[in-house]
Structure 1
C-alpha cells in the first residue's frame, strides 16, 4: 500500500505526502543509481567493511538490495515458508543467492536492477525506505557523505511514522513529536525530537548512530527504545 492521500497522519491532523507510485519508483531508481556510483570505486577491503546492519558487510547489503529488487510476492512467500518464517534465515539465503562470484559481479547485478519495479508487495514507500536506509548503512561506516534529496526522504519519513513494516519505525516514534529542520516532515505528539530528515529516518529505522545528530527532550526516550531493540 502506498501513501493514501485521503488519510491523515496520526497525531498531526495533516495528510501524508501522497506521492504517486511513479514518483516513488523514480526516487528508488535515483537512490539505487547514486549508491551504485558510490560503490564503483570501492577497494576489496572496503567491500568487506562492516555496516550498520549488524553482521552484514558491504557486499551482503548490496546483495540484499539485489534480492529485494528481484523477488516477487510469491517468491518472497515461498522463501519465508522455506525459512519457517525466520527473517534472518530468509535474508541469508537470498543474500547468498544474489551475491556474485566477486564484489564486481555483485555490483553488476545491482546495476542491472536499478530500474526494477519488482517487489514483494505494493508498499512502494517501504522499498524506497529500504534503499535509502541500506545505502546509509553502507555509506556512514565508509565515510561517504552523499545525502538523498529531501523529497525522497520526506516520503520515507511519512511512511515510517505511520507504519511498522520491515523496521519497527512507528513503534520507535510512538508518543514523540518528530520534526525535520531541513524539510516539511512533522509527525506525532509528545516530547520533541528535531534534526535532519535523514537522521530522523535512520533513527526510526533503528540506527542508534544517528541519534547524535538529533536534539530535543524526546531523544533520551528514543535512545532507550533503540537500545532495547
Structure 2
C-alpha cells in the first residue's frame, strides 16, 4: 500500500481546482441536480463552505441543536452558508479555501469530502476531475472501514474483494470486483454506479447490491 498522503495540501488544491471549474457556470447550471439526492450544485458548494468552517466545538454545538441528527445538522449548515447568489457562496468558499478547521473526525474524511463532493458537482455538469491517486486510495481505505451511518461505505463493500488496477489497493473477501480507485470510492460512498466501470466475477452482484440499496 502507498504511504499516507498529507491531507491539507491536497484538500486546498482540490478546493482551488473546484473554484476554477465553478467560476464560469451559467445560472442554469447552478440549479442542476448534483449526485447528492435533493441537493443542487449550489447546495453542495454551500455544504463545502459549511464543513470548511466547522470546528470540533461548533460541530458538537450543531449536533446538539439538531438533536444529534446528522442529516438535520447538515441541512442546517447548507441553509446557513447558502448565500443569496451562487457567486457570493463561491466567493466565501474562495475566502476560506486554505482553512484547516475540521470536525472531530479522521483526517481522511477531508479527502473523502474534497474528492466525492467534487465529483458530485462535476459529473452532472459534464466536467472531469483529476485527483492524486494516493489521496483517492486513502479516502477509499477510510470509506471501506467506516459504517454508512458515519458517512462511510463498509456495508456496501461487504462480501466482495475489491481491487483497483490503478494501484495496489485490495480489500475484503468474496467474489472479485475490479474498478479504478475513483470508481470504487464513488460506489462505496453511495453514488450512482455504472456496470461498465467494474469487472470480475463479483461485478454484477456488486452493482446490483448498490442499485437495490439506492431505491
Q: Which TM-score applies when normalising by structure 1? A: 0.86
SS in 2 for 1:193: strand
Q: Does 1:45 align with 2:20?
A: no
Whole-Å separation in 1 of the counterparts to 2:103 and 2:146: 17
Which residues in structure 2 correspond to 1:150-189 (within 5 Å)?
150-164=133-147, 166-189=150-173
Which residue is 2:18 aligned to? 35
Contact 1:167 1:206 in 2 (8 A): no
Which residue is 1:141 aligned to? 124
- How far the C-alpha of 1:210 sits from its partner, in A, is 4.3
Contact 1:17 1:158 in 2 (8 A): no
Whole-Å separation in 2 of the counterparts to 1:150 and 1:87: 29
Q: Does 1:204 align with 2:188?
A: yes
Structure 2 stretches of 5 or more lacking a match? none
- How far the C-alpha of 1:29 sits from its partner, in A, is 1.1
SS in 1 for 2:177: strand
Which residue is 1:105 aligned to? 88
Which residue is 1:19 aligned to? 4
SS in 1 for 2:53: coil
Q: Does 1:59 align with 2:42?
A: yes
Contact 1:125 1:159 in 2 (8 A): yes
Contact 1:203 1:211 in 2 (8 A): no
Whole-Å separation in 2 of the counterparts to 1:80 and 1:137: 24
Whole-Å separation in 2 of the counterparts to 1:142 and 1:112: 24
Q: Deviations over 1:2-22 (max 9, x none)?
A: xxxxxxxxxxxxxx65526xx
Which residue is 2:199 aligned to? 215
Q: Deviations over 1:157-189 (max 9, x none)?
A: 121122236424111111211111112222122
Q: Which TM-score applies when normalising by structure 2? A: 0.91
> Residue 97 of structure 2 is aligned with which of 100, 114, 124?
114
Contact 1:24 1:128 in 2 (8 A): yes
- How far the C-alpha of 1:91 sits from its partner, in A, is 1.2
Q: How many residue pairs get matched?
A: 212
Across the aligned residues of Structure 1 and Structure 2, the Cα RMSD in angstroms comes to 1.7
The alpha-carbon distance between structure 1 residues 211 and 135, as it changes in their structure 2 partners (threshold 3 A), is farther
The alpha-carbon distance between structure 1 residues 210 and 135, as it changes in their structure 2 partners (threshold 3 A), is farther
The alpha-carbon distance between structure 1 residues 212 and 81, as it changes in their structure 2 partners (threshold 3 A), is farther
The alpha-carbon distance between structure 1 residues 83 and 211, as it changes in their structure 2 partners (threshold 3 A), is farther
Whole-Å separation in 2 of the counterparts to 1:228 and 1:162: 18
- How far the C-alpha of 1:92 sits from its partner, in A, is 1.3
